[in-house]
Amino acid sequence: MRYASLARRPLHFRNFTGFTPSEFSELISVVRSEWFHQRRERLDRPDRKRKIGGGPKHKIPELADRLLVYVIYAKLYLPYLVIGYLFGVDQATICRIVAEMAPVLGKKIIIRRSGKRIRSIEELKELFPDLDEIITDATEQEIQRPQTKRERKKHHSGKQKTFTMKTQISTTPNKLIVHVGSSIPGRMHDYRYLRSTEVPDWLQRHPEVRGRFDLGYQGIKKDYPCATIIHGIKRFRGRKRLTRSEKIFNTKCSKRRIVVEHGIARLKKFGILSHIYRNDKERYSTIFQSIVSLTNFRTLVRQAT
């Protein structure tokens, strides 16, 4: 299997990757400069004794094929051995390609507008000055059972009743994911996790941008009074029921917040974020951000057509 041969079968290509051949071709052009830059940094070191290009040759040298390996792996989440059979290489080669391509895609959340990419919410505000709302929520993914008691306690999620990794994302109403927090063990509460990120402080500095949250973020208005915060009304213990107007308000909040739930659903179309995670937990944040990059890129390309 190679990019040139698979691209001749558009239906198969989309089933394997989630992209059409034309979308994938554009993705290659977007990541090419970043790939060359990272490769140059890795190879061009002061103590190098051999010229760049020396030594054993790569079995899959082309960027298109290496990117195809990573996208198929992320989409289907097959073992390295199976991906190796598809591409006619050993599983160690697949492992090296995955380790190489994840940082290339995960270094930046790719949002291509006029050739620009965005690294932070501040840069997003500069590029989209009419931004008036972001919707924030956290998602969890089950991981393999940790071996030590300390790790099990740290990763056990009381909400999911299993061991998880948690990641916070923020989206705009037009479906773009504009911020991804560093992934953490699933034990931490969503609101405590939020306070450890830059999102609340950024909302305080930009009160013209509304921040929407779910009922799990009670107390955020009190802690960040300068920010424009909107969340539903929670029924606390001792109160029998909400009023009709409060229920209507909660329904309206849910309809506006559904965008972030749809964003999480788009991310979890990639098997690497929906199945039990079996890779190194230290690389989870990078892999998650790489999938965000792919999802944002696909969203923008399809919105433009």
Query: DSSP label at 275?
Result: S
Distance CA 97, CA 103 (A): 11
The pair of structure tokens assigned to 63 is 């960027």
Distance CA 137, CA 133 (A): 14
One-letter amino acid at 119 equals R
Where helices occur in the chain by DSSP H, the ranges are 3-6, 10-17, 21-43, 63-76, 80-87, 91-106, 121-127, 149-155, 190-195, 199-205, 220-223, 244-267, 271-274, 284-304
Other CB atoms closer than 10 Å to residue 136's CB: what's the count? Answer: 26
The pair of structure tokens assigned to 206 is 């930009």
Where helices occur in 116-243 by DSSP H, the ranges are 121-127, 149-155, 190-195, 199-205, 220-223
The dihedrals phi and psi of 90, each to the nearest 5 degrees, come to -85, 165
Distance CA 112, CA 128 (A): 12
Distance CA 212, CA 221 (A): 11
Predicted pLDDT at 257: 93
pLDDT along the chain (305 residues), means of 10: 95 96 94 87 78 78 95 97 96 95 85 56 71 93 95 94 96 90 94 93 90 92 94 84 92 94 96 95 94 92 83
Nearest to 16 by CA among 62, 82, 61: 82
Query: DSSP label at 58?
Result: P
Predicted pLDDT at 112: 55
User: Would you say how long the chain is, in residues?
Assistant: 305
Query: DSSP label at 143?
Result: B
Query: pTM score, two decimals?
Result: 0.91
Q: Between the CA of residue 84 and those of 19, 79, 260, 301, what are the distances in Å? A: 21, 9, 35, 30
Predicted pLDDT at 121: 65
Residue 107, CA atoms < 13 Å, CB-side half-sphere: 12
Other CB atoms closer than 10 Å to residue 116's CB: what's the count? Answer: 10
Distance CA 196, CA 177 (A): 19
